[in-house]
Structure 1
């Protein structure tokens, strides 16, 4: 059995509850049978894996490896994952470097199959590093089973810490935001950017993100979200606007249903 996190409320009220109970809920989740079984297997066996091919051929190891980077849905894309891992990250033309979704780059960099003669799987602290990421990500997945928006808020909180540690330019941080679909979705929603925004030229998207952030927060840089108050405001905006959008969709659906019923009644009157 796997512990299912409790999220009794939606929106920012649900986020406040989750933050207050997160430590105890995450501990219960990590102690559940499935998580313990998966992490124990990974830690006991990953040290024997020398190649990307060997990793993708062991489904149980691959499940933890992908789960640690939020790529659970790629479990059946063995050849694709093997190619990413074998290419590594040092070559600018490697697949991980060319993909816009930088979660693949992060996974290839972590395992090091294509970058070093001896992969990182042989390092003594590697198993625990990956299982720690896995447990955190899987808790987010479990929360998402109750509330998708709450999962996105949790992932933003984690990813921003990693992103802000990157040694890059101000524009580079925005490109990192744009290259991580869950983080991008939170920013787009919180900043009120339209769903068609992602189809624009990448430089226009950069300008759009900067302008929207400056207008809403008085600062155009991603680095401002190192401030806990600004980060909390970003998450609050995301959750509130997501609820509004869901409410609008619900109202629209109800209106359509009412129209159909009214038309049916009119039809009955004309032809009954």
Structure 2
């Protein structure tokens, strides 16, 4: 059995504890027997893979490959995954460029099957890069088994950082958030938006997200999250609102904290 992360309690206070112990807990998780077996197999075999077809034919390798990008649920969608990889990222008409969830783009780009004559799987640094991402994502899943909101908060740091660094417009970044289920959940909750907003026209959704971000965070730009303090503020709002929505025993305290954060006290 893999190492089980310790999440002592829910909410922002629990998040602070998790952040303080994360490096130690991640190391213990990485050293667990199951994760080590997966890592050893990946290191020994990934350089032998020269095509998307070969990758999807090896369940153990595909499990790690997909897991590194948070795409674990696609393990049985072999035809779809092979197509994403084969078409690559350089052609604007490729599947990875058309999908709103840009994890598929990053996945295809990382392996390079559709972009280069020689894929990235042969590079000496490739196994460790993929395994590092895989172990991080699997740790997040294990944390989620204890507290799903903590998993979403951990995932936020990786995905939002990548999004802020992406060379695109700020509207483009918002559309990426709206197309990423995990990020969307965090933002909808933190900004007090109902899930029913997804039924609106995309431009209307964008306006709502921007307006609420301006109201609660002081700026409507996704680029503000390059500042760690702004990112932490978003996490606080998310975890406090999540507690309130769940009707936990700490609802009163959470409500007061939210009022302070949003300036309504």
TM-score (norm 1): 0.89
Q: Given the alignment of the two structures, is residue 51 of structure 1 paired with residue 51 of structure 2, yes or no? A: yes
Q: Given the alignment of the two structures, is residue 198 of structure 1 paired with residue 198 of structure 2, yes or no? A: yes
> For residues 97-136 of structure 1, what are the alpha-carbon distances to aligned partners after superposition, in whole Å with 9 as ceiling and x for unaligned?
1111111111111111111111111122111110110011
> For residues 114-159 of structure 1, what are the alpha-carbon distances to aligned partners after superposition, in whole Å with 9 as ceiling and x for unaligned?
1111111112211111011001101100000100000000000111
- Other-structure match for 1:95: 95
Counting only pairs closer than 5 Å after superposition, residues 35-50 of structure 1 correspond to structure 2 as 35-50=35-50
SS of residue paired to 1:149: helix
CA contact (8 A) 2:161 2:225 kept: no
> For residues 55-74 of structure 1, what are the alpha-carbon distances to aligned partners after superposition, in whole Å with 9 as ceiling and x for unaligned?
00000000000100001111
CA distance in 2 between counterparts of 1:8 and 1:134 reads 24
1:46 Cα deviation (Å)?
Answer: 0.6
- Other-structure match for 1:245: 245
Aligned length: 249
Counting only pairs closer than 5 Å after superposition, residues 1-272 of structure 1 correspond to structure 2 as 1-247=1-247
Deviates more, 1:65-74 or 1:156-165: 156-165
1:6 Cα deviation (Å)?
Answer: 0.6
1:173 Cα deviation (Å)?
Answer: 1.6
CA distance in 1 between counterparts of 2:26 and 2:6 reads 10
CA distance in 2 between counterparts of 1:155 and 1:11 reads 16
CA distance in 2 between counterparts of 1:198 and 1:106 reads 24
CA distance in 2 between counterparts of 1:104 and 1:118 reads 20
CA distance in 1 between counterparts of 2:198 and 2:119 reads 36
1:176 Cα deviation (Å)?
Answer: 2.1
1:179 Cα deviation (Å)?
Answer: 2.4
1:245 Cα deviation (Å)?
Answer: 1.2
CA distance in 1 between counterparts of 2:150 and 2:77 reads 27
Q: Highest Rg: 1 or 2?
A: 1
CA distance in 2 between counterparts of 1:210 and 1:12 reads 24
CA distance in 1 between counterparts of 2:91 and 2:17 reads 45
CA distance in 2 between counterparts of 1:30 and 1:132 reads 9
- How well do the aligned residues superpose, as a CA RMSD in angstroms? 1.3
CA distance in 2 between counterparts of 1:125 and 1:199 reads 43
1:242 Cα deviation (Å)?
Answer: 1.1
| Runs of 4+ displaced beyond 3 Å | none
- Structure 1: which 5+ runs fail to align? 252-272
CA distance in 2 between counterparts of 1:91 and 1:118 reads 17
SS of residue paired to 2:93: coil
CA distance in 1 between counterparts of 2:89 and 2:221 reads 27
TM-score (norm 2): 0.91
Deviates more, 1:230-239 or 1:148-157: 230-239
- Structure 2: which 5+ runs fail to align? 252-265
